[in-house]
A and B are shown apart, each in its own frame.
Chain A
């Protein structure tokens, strides 16, 4: 099936934080790239015209952390199912962490994931490779080979690197090749098999706690080693206020992201042992949530991610400590980010930057912008549309979200990846086409 090579998106309101565009303008696409913004170029003939009246047209969203569960956990989700969910959420690029099975510590696995993602055609999938072999924290992975195979960054996923000397070597070696290290700051000992924030709620419910210091200690260590080695360190999935201030005060070229849900939920949501709120790092106090929001507002945290972790229903059907942590978040990344605008934390352009050019600049990729000549990755959404999140509504195979039943404002109407519609609220228009394989 062929798709239109030329598209005009007319009557929409363009917001592109990277180029400081925030006005009503038309946008014209030819052969997968943005051809012109504003006036129609002479001789341009659009094969398809999308009327974006009343809608925001912004760069396609970039998600720094989304687990697709393939390979290894296809009973939870697949590359096809989750990239379709991403497209529905306005996401055109996502990074998948290396803790698949097999682990992304060889070029073959990295290539296989990209290949399958291209076959599905819904979303650009950029693998994050493993920093250490088997994520064991002992031997360096073949970093340069992984980089060459398309890994945009390397990480040790959820497994902390306990040996500080190994961490130093990892960061030095990564720095040699200009590789960004994604670190999730957690002290391997202080977490002590906890499953909830060590605070009043865990004390009352008798849930084993993870102190905020588990994150702070790791941040302090990682910052010292980032300075020592000169490696670009990116902190993933922050949870505590102290971590934000440590990063802010460090004056190092480190970057950070936060999961969207961390900006809305706190330890109080665990009352009643709600396993959909079981996440690692845990939901912390109200003050932590406010500090994270402040970090997003002042760009200490320059990216908001979904931290998407889909699970099969059984994974959440057990006593709280025995449930699998994680929230299915692809389809709530945009609405939660827009909620920050409604709540007065950010203006719309800044909010969009945290899910477009913010993450793009962490990845050092020319994405997340509406520049002439750049890839036509677009998200169109109706900022006034009220809707309710239901399991019927979700495309992700993981329905594990505490936001079910919640009413949001702002809904994606069209998603385009390289000039192809990967999602449309008018289903007949969807035409995700496999690229040449």
Chain B
């Protein structure tokens, strides 16, 4: 009786990216635009002067309510390469612990005239919440909210895949590991389906599988060997240590025996298949070192491409401000 159809708050009235909160609801055209824009930024890192003046005078605030090294650092680098001023706040250690509400923290930062928030938070929906309540001139980039979404990670993965494989329409993908608790997997699945991948498979024991997994637009497998048969890309997810204590898995040892990627197991995939991982890797749990450091692994490229993709998203979102769409 209440319509669940809300306008997509990520887009401005002209259909341009104002906030980047989730892949859901974004068109293939827009995702391709992100990848193309990232492509144009990829060269910046190789220059002697690693900067473009696109966001000069803008203030970007990294709001990390959950700790992170890789994601925060690459967002920081991306912002700096766009010539923005960057403020990085580790909120879990400051206001939140003093009882300040998220909204109050937000209002205080707004009063410091920030132009963009890059947000990581343990609650699913946190980035949506901040986008809904921030002042209209502020753009919000989701750097991971609970189990919901991590759209820039998904886009840097798409960027990596496109660089190696080109067209998505012929590709079979396998995502292996803790799908249930993974915001990365949710965003990857949406991105792959939007970009028209031929088949997306997810592989894990039932305890790590989301309920109603098939409704996410994937094929569900429980055996690694079957799931990676003839795939072009194998994406391994990080396994959190706390999954053992939560009675979801018996041991890291058994997990590796059943789901750990080795060169022998990788034989089942296509001969030119690439191996990805959002990091940090638990060597000997998700995969052994031979695979992680082997010729199929593109894991370190993912990290460097992350900077270009984050530059692209920030530049695109800030563009909606520059042209006066904000009230």
Q: Which 8 A-B pairs have the closest CB atoms?
A: A206-B147, A206-B148, A319-B123, A273-B125, A319-B126, A320-B125, A200-B215, A271-B4
Task: Return B24 CB to nearest CB of chain A, in Å.
Answer: 7
- Contact partner of A199 among B125, B145, B211, CB < 8 A? B211
- Give the nearest-CB partner of B128 in chain A: A273
**Residues of A contacting B125 in the complex (Cβ-Cβ under 8 angstroms):** 205, 207, 273, 319-321
- Give the nearest-CB partner of A285 in chain B: B212
Contact B2 A265 (CB under 8 A): yes
**Residues of B contacting A208 in the complex (Cβ-Cβ under 8 angstroms):** 124, 146-147
Cβ of A322 within 8 Å of any chain B Cβ, yes or no, is yes
Contact A207 B124 (CB under 8 A): yes
Cβ of A314 within 8 Å of any chain B Cβ, yes or no, is yes
A207 to B212, CA, bound (A): 13
Contact B101 A314 (CB under 8 A): yes
Contact A207 B148 (CB under 8 A): yes
Q: Mark A235-273, 1 if CB is under 8 A from B, else 0.
A: 000000000000000000000000000001100110111
Query: Which residues B11-56 have CB closer than 8 A to chain A?
Result: 24
Contact A206 B212 (CB under 8 A): no
Interface size class of A (residues with CB under 8 A): 20 to 34
Pick the most buried of A198, A204, A317: most chain B CB atoms within 10 A of its CB: A204
Q: Mark A370-409, 1 if CB is under 8 A from B, else 0.
A: 0000000000000000000000000000000011001000
**Residues of B contacting A318 in the complex (Cβ-Cβ under 8 angstroms):** 101-103, 123, 129
Task: Return B204 CB to nearest CB of chain A, in Å.
Answer: 13
**Contact flag A321-B129 (CB < 8 Å), given A198-B211, A204-B186, A314-B101:** no
Cβ of B264 within 8 Å of any chain A Cβ, yes or no, is no
Cβ of B213 within 8 Å of any chain A Cβ, yes or no, is yes
A215 to B101, CA, bound (A): 32
**Contact flag A314-B103 (CB < 8 Å), given A198-B211, A200-B212, A209-B211:** yes
**Residues of A contacting B210 in the complex (Cβ-Cβ under 8 angstroms):** 203
**Residues of B contacting A202 in the complex (Cβ-Cβ under 8 angstroms):** 211
- Contact partner of A203 among B103, B128, B213, CB < 8 A? B213
A-B CB contact pairs (8 Å), 14 listed: A198-B211, A200-B211, A203-B210, A203-B216, A206-B145, A206-B183, A207-B148, A208-B124, A268-B4, A272-B4, A272-B6, A272-B128, A321-B124, A406-B1
- Give the nearest-CB partner of B183 in chain A: A206
**Residues of A contacting B145 in the complex (Cβ-Cβ under 8 angstroms):** 206, 319
Query: Which residues A187-234 have CB closer than 8 A to chain B?
Result: 198-200, 202-209, 211
- Give the nearest-CB partner of B8 in chain A: A272
Contact B148 A402 (CB under 8 A): no
**Contact flag A211-B4 (CB < 8 Å), given A203-B216, A273-B125:** no
A319 to B123, CA, bound (A): 6
**Residues of A contacting B128 in the complex (Cβ-Cβ under 8 angstroms):** 272-273, 319
**Residues of B contacting A268 in the complex (Cβ-Cβ under 8 angstroms):** 4
Cβ of B149 within 8 Å of any chain A Cβ, yes or no, is yes
Query: Which residues B146-198 have CB closer than 8 A to chain A?
Result: 146-149, 183, 186
**Residues of B contacting A203 in the complex (Cβ-Cβ under 8 angstroms):** 210-213, 215-216
A322 to B130, CA, bound (A): 13
- Interface residues in B, total, Cβ within 8 A: 30
Task: Return A213 CB to nearest CB of chain B, in Å.
Answer: 11
**Residues of A contacting B213 in the complex (Cβ-Cβ under 8 angstroms):** 203
Contact B129 A320 (CB under 8 A): yes
Contact B2 A320 (CB under 8 A): no
A275 to B6, CA, bound (A): 14
A321 to B103, CA, bound (A): 15
Cβ of B81 within 8 Å of any chain A Cβ, yes or no, is no
Given A200-B212, A318-B123, 9 more pairs with CB closer than 8 A = A203-B215, A206-B148, A208-B147, A269-B2, A317-B101, A317-B129, A320-B123, A320-B129, A321-B123
Task: Return B104 CB to nearest CB of chain A, in Å.
Answer: 9
Task: Return B208 CB to nearest CB of chain A, in Å.
Answer: 13
**Residues of A contacting B70 in the complex (Cβ-Cβ under 8 angstroms):** none
**Contact flag A204-B24 (CB < 8 Å), given A319-B123, A322-B123:** yes
- Give the nearest-CB partner of A276 in chain B: B2
**Contact flag A204-B215 (CB < 8 Å), given A317-B133, A322-B123, A406-B2:** yes
Task: Return B145 CB to nearest CB of chain A, in Å.
Answer: 7
**Residues of B contacting A264 in the complex (Cβ-Cβ under 8 angstroms):** 1
Task: Return A362 CB to nearest CB of chain B, in Å.
Answer: 27
Pick the most buried of B6, B124, B128: most chain A CB atoms within 10 A of its CB: B124
Contact B186 A206 (CB under 8 A): yes
Contact B149 A206 (CB under 8 A): yes
Cβ of B121 within 8 Å of any chain A Cβ, yes or no, is yes
**Residues of A contacting B24 in the complex (Cβ-Cβ under 8 angstroms):** 204
A207 to B4, CA, bound (A): 17
Contact B212 A199 (CB under 8 A): yes
A209 to B124, CA, bound (A): 12
A209 to B123, CA, bound (A): 13
Contact B212 A320 (CB under 8 A): no
**Residues of B contacting A273 in the complex (Cβ-Cβ under 8 angstroms):** 124-125, 128-129
Contact A402 B2 (CB under 8 A): yes
A198 to B2, CA, bound (A): 20
Contact B146 A321 (CB under 8 A): yes
**Residues of A contacting B124 in the complex (Cβ-Cβ under 8 angstroms):** 205-208, 273, 319-321
Query: Which residues A277-331 have CB closer than 8 A to chain B?
Result: 314, 317-322
**Contact flag A206-B101 (CB < 8 Å), given A269-B2, A320-B124:** no
**Residues of B contacting A322 in the complex (Cβ-Cβ under 8 angstroms):** 102, 123
Task: Return B27 CB to nearest CB of chain A, in Å.
Answer: 18
Q: Mark B258-281, 1 if CB is under 8 A from A, else 0.
A: 000000000000000000000000
A265 to B126, CA, bound (A): 23
Task: Return A15 CB to nearest CB of chain B, in Å.
Answer: 25
Task: Return B5 CB to nearest CB of chain A, in Å.
Answer: 8
A88 to B86, CA, bound (A): 53
Contact A205 B148 (CB under 8 A): yes
**Residues of A contacting B102 in the complex (Cβ-Cβ under 8 angstroms):** 318-319, 322
Task: Return B22 CB to nearest CB of chain A, in Å.
Answer: 9
**Residues of B contacting A269 in the complex (Cβ-Cβ under 8 angstroms):** 2, 4
Task: Return A346 CB to nearest CB of chain B, in Å.
Answer: 17
A206 to B147, CA, bound (A): 4
Pick the most buried of A198, A206, A208, A271: most chain B CB atoms within 10 A of its CB: A206
A403 to B1, CA, bound (A): 9
